């Protein structure tokens, strides 16, 4: 295995700090990310803000992209695949209710900053896709597959492939077009107006 | 009128250089924008690359945000409002055909960089919305209103308000999710799978 193929996760290294301390470090990384952006976020700054040694940070996470991706992963309040209300409308409603507006504004800032950063950093892009984007998309697909299995969505519905693009796209497009962040109300209207009709629900 | 309300366009200043020279300067600004991003783009760099004086640049455009917004405006090959084939499917087809894949990849890079920059620079956001985003959205609305008038789309169709979000969102979400830029083929599939069903077309 070449260096480029080294997995970004390294579970064996993860037991050296407590879960509480890990959550504290992740929160500090996200605060820094919102304050200064990905490019300006340094391991030195993380170490200073969290009163850790850089050696601890590197031992625990391996690299800055991995640390950022892990921290982002931990902001997700619920895995979409675990939402199972028995109807696709119910599932999307729970998805919206699990995020409050403040959280969505922060998510918007993060997605925007990262959309920029992933272009500059292939390592961040790889870590983000493996740790954040792919699991969320997989969870969404599990949720949608159950709707297909129940007969709510046609198995060959072409919009099934585009639901992740619709949701992520809305978070980035709204601030550009209307100068505001996505909130529950917008997301609910957007899903009703676009996602459900496209899925034939 | 306060300084903050000064219009970003100043037509009376625009006659001092030839249209050819203006197009040359706009192209140079876009090249720089792709190479270094908005933050690192300086009027000094534009002056150096175009062999102009900074005084000329400021006299002609007033400010960096205005220069960038004007340069972007000039990349649009056609105003959407002018597309009028007699059917909404035909109009979207022409819209796609007017952009080649290379142009779309460049547009993706610009939109991504700008989604980041508009957050950092209220002046750029204002200039972009007035000169680029609003005219495109207005053009799209003119195109869609004709479809409503022809009876192709219901006048109260809730998806009408979200078409700009869908198109801009797709350009930003696809590179994040699938690590590739929007091309004609993707855009055609996306419009068929999502935009037309949502509009009830």
Does B25 share its domain with B81?
no
Give me the mean pLDDT over the A137-141 stretch: 92
B95 domain residue, yes or no: yes
| Residue the block writes with tokens 């696809």 | B174
- Window B:106-135, CB contacts with A under 8 Å: 109, 111-116, 118-119, 125, 129, 133
Are B84 and B94 in contact, with CB atoms under 8 Å apart? no
Does A143 share its domain with A174?
yes
Q: Please list every residue in chain A whose beta carbon sits closer than 8 Å to the beta carbon of residue B115.
A: 112, 115-116, 172, 175-176
A8 domain residue, yes or no: no
Cβ of B10 under 8 Å from any chain A Cβ?
Answer: no
DSSP letter assigned to residue B14: T
Per-position DSSP letters for chain A, written without gaps between them = --GGG--S--GGGTTSS-HHHHHHHHHHHHHHHHHHHHHH--HHHHHHHHT--HHHHHHHHSSHHHHHHHHHHTT-SS-GGG---SSHHHHHHHHHHTS-HHHHHHHHHHHHHHHHHHHH-HHHHHHHIIIIIHHHHHHHHHHHHHHHHTTSS-TT-GGGGGHHHHHHHHHHHHHHHHSS---HHHHHHHIIIIIHHHHT-
Q: Which of B36, B63, B90 is the last residue of a domain?
A: B63
Question: CATH no. for residue A34?
Answer: 1.10.10.60
* Min Cα–Cα distance to chain B from A86, Å: 24
Determine the Cα–Cα distance for residues B137 and B144; give it in Å rounded to an integer: 10
**What counts of helices (H) and strands (E) characterise chain B?**
11, 0
A148 domain residue, yes or no: yes
Does A114 share its domain with A56?
no
Are B59 and B13 in contact, with CB atoms under 8 Å apart? yes
pLDDT band of A76, cuts 50, 70, 90: low
A10 domain residue, yes or no: no
Cβ of A155 under 8 Å from any chain B Cβ?
Answer: no
Q: How many residues does chain B have?
A: 201
Q: Please list every residue in chain A whose beta carbon sits closer than 8 Å to the beta carbon of residue B197.
A: 159, 197-198, 200
Does A59 share its domain with A81?
no
CA A80, A86, A87, A90 torsion-angle sign: negative
Does A53 share its domain with A82?
no
Are B147 and B91 in contact, with CB atoms under 8 Å apart? yes
Does A114 share its domain with A144?
yes
Q: Please list every residue in chain A whose beta carbon sits closer than 8 Å to the beta carbon of residue B112.
A: 115-116, 119
| Count of domains for chain A | 2
Does A87 share its domain with A138?
yes
Cβ of A150 under 8 Å from any chain B Cβ?
Answer: no
Mind listing the pLDDT tens digit for each residue in B135-189?
888 999 999 999 999 999 999 999 999 999 999 899 888 888 888 888 999 999 9
A5 domain residue, yes or no: no
- With H, G, I as helix, E, B as strand and everything else as coil, classify residue B183: coil
Position A1 scores a pLDDT of 37
Helices B19-40 and B64-73, axial angle in degrees (round to 10):
120
Position B144 scores a pLDDT of 97
Does A185 share its domain with A146?
yes
Position A123 scores a pLDDT of 81
Give me the mean pLDDT over the B55-73 stretch: 86
Q: Please list every residue in chain B whose beta carbon sits closer than 8 Å to the beta carbon of residue A198.
A: 193-194, 197-198
The answer to whether the CB atoms of A119 and B190 lie below 8 A apart is no
A119 domain residue, yes or no: yes
B135 domain residue, yes or no: yes
A104 domain residue, yes or no: yes
The answer to whether the CB atoms of A118 and B176 lie below 8 A apart is yes
| Residue the block writes with tokens 């720089």 | B32
Are B92 and B147 in contact, with CB atoms under 8 Å apart? no
The answer to whether the CB atoms of A169 and B172 lie below 8 A apart is yes
Does B88 share its domain with B56?
no
pLDDT band of A3, cuts 50, 70, 90: very low
* Range of weakest confidence among A101-110, B17-26, B190-199: A101-110
Q: Please list every residue in chain B whose beta carbon sits closer than 8 Å to the beta carbon of residue A193.
A: 158-159, 161-162, 198
Whole-model pTM over 0.80: no
Q: Which residue has the higher pLDDT, A46 or A124?
A: A46
Please state, in angstroms and as integers, the Cα–Cα distance from residue A82 to each residue in A74, A88, A138, A159, following that order. 16, 13, 11, 22
Whether the pLDDT of residue B44 is over 60: the answer is yes
* Min Cα–Cα distance to chain B from A149, Å: 20
Does A99 share its domain with A146?
yes
Determine the Cα–Cα distance for residues B58 and B23; give it in Å rounded to an integer: 16
Question: Please, what is the Cα angle at A132 between A128 and A133, to 5 degrees?
Answer: 85
Determine the Cα–Cα distance for residues A65 and A129; give it in Å rounded to an integer: 11
Terminal-to-terminal C-alpha distance of chain B: 45
Does A59 share its domain with A85?
no
Determine the Cα–Cα distance for residues A92 and A196; give it in Å rounded to an integer: 10
Parent domain of A36 = 19-63
Does A53 share its domain with A147?
no
């Amino acid at each position: 295995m070449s260096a480029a193929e080294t997995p970004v996760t390294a579970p064996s290294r993860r037991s050296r700090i407590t879960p509480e301390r890990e959550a504290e470090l992740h929160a500090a990384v996200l605060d820094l990310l919102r304050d200064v952006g990905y490019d300006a976020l340094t391991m030195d700054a993380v170490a200073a803000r969290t009163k850790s040694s850089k050696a601890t940070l590197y031992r625990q996470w391996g690299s800055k992209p991995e640390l950022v991706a892990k921290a982002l992963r931990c902001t997700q309040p619920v895995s979409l695949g675990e939402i199972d209300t028995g109807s696709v409308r119910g599932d999307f409603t729970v998805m919206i209710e699990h995020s409050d507006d403040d959280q969505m504004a922060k998510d918007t800032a993060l997605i925007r900053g990262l959309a920029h950063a992933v272009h500059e950093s292939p390592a961040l892009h790889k870590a983000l896709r493996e740790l954040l984007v792919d699991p969320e998309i997989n969870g969404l697909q599990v949720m949608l597959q159950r709707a297909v299995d129940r007969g709510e969505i046609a198995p060959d519905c072409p919009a099934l492939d585009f639901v992740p693009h619709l949701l992520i796209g809305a978070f980035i497009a709204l601030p550009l077009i209307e100068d505001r962040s996505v909130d529950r109300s917008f997301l609910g209207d957007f899903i009703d107006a676009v996602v459900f009709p496209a899925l034939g629900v």
